Chains A and B, each alone.
Chain A
Amino acid sequence: MNLSELQIKPALRGKWEAIDVGILMAKRWFWPMLVAWAVPAMTVFLILSAIFHESPWIAMLVFWWLKPLFDRLPLYLLSRYLFNEPVPQLFNARVLIDIYRFDIFSALTWRRFEFRRSFNLPITVLEKQKGEARAKRAALMQFGCGNAATWVTTVFIHFEILLCLGFISLVALFIPSNTDWNFLNTIMEHPLIFEHLYNLIYASSVCIIAPLYIASGFSLYINRRVELEAWDLELLFRDSMLKRPKNNPKFASTNNIASHLALICCLTFSLISSDNLNAAQNDLNLTFDQTSRAAEQSKEQMLEIIESPPFVIEKEVTQWEWKSNNDTQESDPELPEWLENIEHLFELSDVMKNISVFFEVIIWGSIALLLFFIAKHILHNLDLSATTGGQKKGAISQQKPSVIMGLNIETESLPDDIADAVEKAVAQGNHRHALSLLYRFSLNLLINRYDLHLEDWFTEQECANAVKHSLEEDINRFFSALTRTWQLQAYAHLSPTDDAVLALSGDLKKVFNL
């Protein structure tokens, strides 16, 4: 048993997964296992059938009773295949007798009806345990996966019967129903032949199922061994120790770092001692040269690869062919004929024309509808804004904001002669105050004189937008200029020139007809 030759992927699996692996094992070595099962079993079966030809049920019973014995040789083979070991001369009578004779009595008497047979079989055949030791070993092995072993047996018993009945009914399905030959009558006339035939079919089904059954139980057993003896870990440990050579790559890398550090130190020292400066630079240039040459080489190699077959497919074309429309030409040929045929058959050209007109009408109609709905939507929105404006007007007359953006815009807070106040502020160099006056004054005017709807939470931009949407163009132009100037002053601390402020003041007068 050489673990490194294990033919299944070493891993600790769940019990059901282990059974599935068993199925795969049976599939890989199906034919040798089938032969190893079927040759002795069918020989015995045929001899028994010949002896008890008057009462086939006895032959069947004995054959069935001997099944645990027939399972031994395939299991032995499987255990060899699993570790990739050579199979010893099978026709060595001593080996065969040894396999079949070991602990034969208990296997065929009280352990015949053991439900975990395929799981326990390796303990008998491969570990050569019997009596108390076998029972102890079996109890240890079965812990945690015993019920799965029971289910394996249960399911495979059903599979055997299913295969047998399935084969018979498949044959029955293929008998034509209108033939005179009555299958059932023939059977009834010769029940003995039928019984023998049935026995043969059943024995064959058992032959086919046996490798799967043995391998499933064996795989479950192997999985338990993997769990108890940590085969997978042993292989992993060995593998990782092999990959860890004397000069561990990790150590090598740390060594590398160390050598780099040393190199850097050398370089600094050599830089300090100016004599070596040039030498060091030469060294560096040399390495740069080397790396650039290597890069060029690899680039050339890449180009070579990219220009070779899998990337570039060159082919010689000696015929003229159309440059484009290839696809349509390929797919077209059938279509026109087909259409022509239809037109011929039904003289549908008028109908086709009508259909096209019909679709044209539909398309234009839907475009018109779309336009209509868009227009309606726009009108509706306009209406809405007008009406809401109207509604708000009422609301405003009751409740006009006295503070916007934290600026007091009540009439009482503003000077009577705005131009004078602005001029004074400008003369004092207080542009902020001047612009603030202008801005507040305009807001006050907009709200009180033009009944503009402004809320106390509006921003400068929202105020400007409100003006833009509701008032005439020159007011809008003035107000947006004022807003911009004010924003620059208020937030960016960029004061305008005196003239600009005065110009705004003049515009204010002009625009609002003060």
Chain B
Amino acid sequence: MKKLIDTSCSIETPEGIDFSSTIAGPIPRTLAYAIDLGWRCLIYLGIGLVTIFTGNVGVGFFLVITFLLEWFYPVFFEVFRHGQTPGKKALGLRVVNEDYTPVNWSGSTIRNLLRSADFLPVFYLFGITSITLSKKFQRLGDMAAGTVVIYTPQKINSLLDNEITPIAPSQPLTPQEKQAISNFTLRTSSISEARQVELTNLLEPITKSTGSEGLNLVKSIGAWLLGKK
């Protein structure tokens, strides 16, 4: 059987701890780039409007600023803003080394200087192809610098229904079961009632009941597991 399709990738530390993160693919990265490009264009426009009236000195200044921004805008944000340019932040992305340590000066500089390779032949075609084809969604610059773009973990902010009275489970549960039941309790608002009953009927060995009675019991156990006492 082939491996199940998944974008998460885990790294094992020497201490035997698994760190798992989800790697970001071409679409969100393209959008993040577009946002950054938009910001840069706004800056160029602003500076251009100011310097257009100042003759050659102004043009020189404009060119220097353009050069610096074009090459070091991402480096600055990646090193000083936890690997997130404004575009990446908007999409919830982050640049890290392949072992999920924060990216440093050399890594960030390499990956951004090699944009010139990704840019070929027009507008990042090689970069997009490389991201799509490579195993860890890396463009050429990422491969050279040994970096990946991952999603920053998002907090699920679903609220627990206050009407549920927490009940302690009557028998010991495995960690997997605990996780499943508490996830279910948190997600009940997006699942239809009939489906909820269908799902909780599967848990009959734990609840010893079916139907809406079983559903309520599972929810109560979930609330208890989530720390409501």
Contacts and interface: CB of A to CB of B under 8 A. Distances in A.
Interface of A: 6-9, 11-14, 16-17, 19-21, 23-25, 27-28, 151-152, 155, 158-159, 162-163, 165-166, 169-170, 173, 212, 216, 227-230, 233-234, 236-241, 243-244, 248, 250
A16 B202 contact: no
Contacts of B203: 237, 241
Q: In terms of DSSP, what is the predominant structure of the interface of chain A?
A: helix
Nearest to A212: B132
Contact of B31 (A17, A21, A151): A151
B191 A169 contact: no
A162 B128 CA distance: 10
B195 A19 contact: no
Contacts of B4: 6-9
A28 B176 CA distance: 29
Name the 6 nearest CB pairs between A and B, nearest first.
Answer: A20-B25, A166-B125, A9-B6, A236-B180, A16-B28, A8-B5
Contacts of A227: 187, 190
B26 interface: yes
Given A8-B5, A12-B187, A16-B151, A237 B180 contact: yes
Contacts of B154: 14
Nearest to A163: B125
Given A20-B28, A170-B121, A237-B180, 14 more contacts: A13-B7, A16-B28, A17-B7, A19-B25, A24-B6, A159-B128, A162-B128, A163-B125, A166-B125, A229-B191, A239-B176, A240-B174, A244-B177, A250-B172
B86 interface: no
A230 B180 CA distance: 11
Interface of B: 2, 4-8, 22-28, 30-31, 91-92, 121-125, 128, 132-133, 137, 151, 154, 171-172, 174, 176-177, 179-180, 183-184, 187, 190-192, 195, 199, 202-203, 205
Contact of B6 (A21, A23, A170, A173): A21
Given A212-B132, A241-B202, A169 B2 contact: no
Nearest to A224: B190
Contacts of B27: 16, 19-20, 23, 151-152, 155, 216
A20 B8 CA distance: 10
- Counting chain A CB atoms within 10 Å of each CB, the highest count among B2, B7, B24, B31 belongs to B7
B28 A230 contact: no
Contacts of B177: 240, 244
A374 B121 CA distance: 65
A322 to B, nearest CB: 36
A234 B24 CA distance: 27
B5 A19 contact: no
A139 to B, nearest CB: 15
Given A17-B151, A162-B122, A230 B22 contact: no
Contacts of B199: 230, 233-234, 237
- Counting chain B CB atoms within 10 Å of each CB, the highest count among A20, A158, A241, A244 belongs to A20
A500 B192 CA distance: 96
Nearest to A18: B7
Contacts of A170: 121, 125
A28 B6 CA distance: 12
Contacts of B151: 14, 16-17
17 contacts: A6-B4, A17-B7, A20-B24, A20-B28, A25-B5, A155-B26, A155-B31, A159-B128, A162-B125, A165-B122, A166-B122, A170-B121, A237-B199, A241-B205, A244-B205, A248-B171, A250-B172
Contact of B30 (A6, A11, A21, A155): A155
Given A212-B132, A230-B184, A162 B123 contact: yes
Contacts of B184: 230, 233, 237
Contacts of B174: 240, 243-244
A265 B142 CA distance: 67
Contacts of A11: 6
A21 B180 contact: no
Contact of A237 (B8, B28, B125, B202): B202
Given A19-B28, A20-B25, A23-B27, A233 B187 contact: yes
B95 to A, nearest CB: 16
Contacts of A6: 4
A228 B192 contact: yes
A239 B205 CA distance: 13
A16 B92 contact: yes
B136 to A, nearest CB: 11
A20 B92 contact: no
B125 A16 contact: no
Contacts of B195: 228-230
Contacts of A20: 7, 22-28, 137
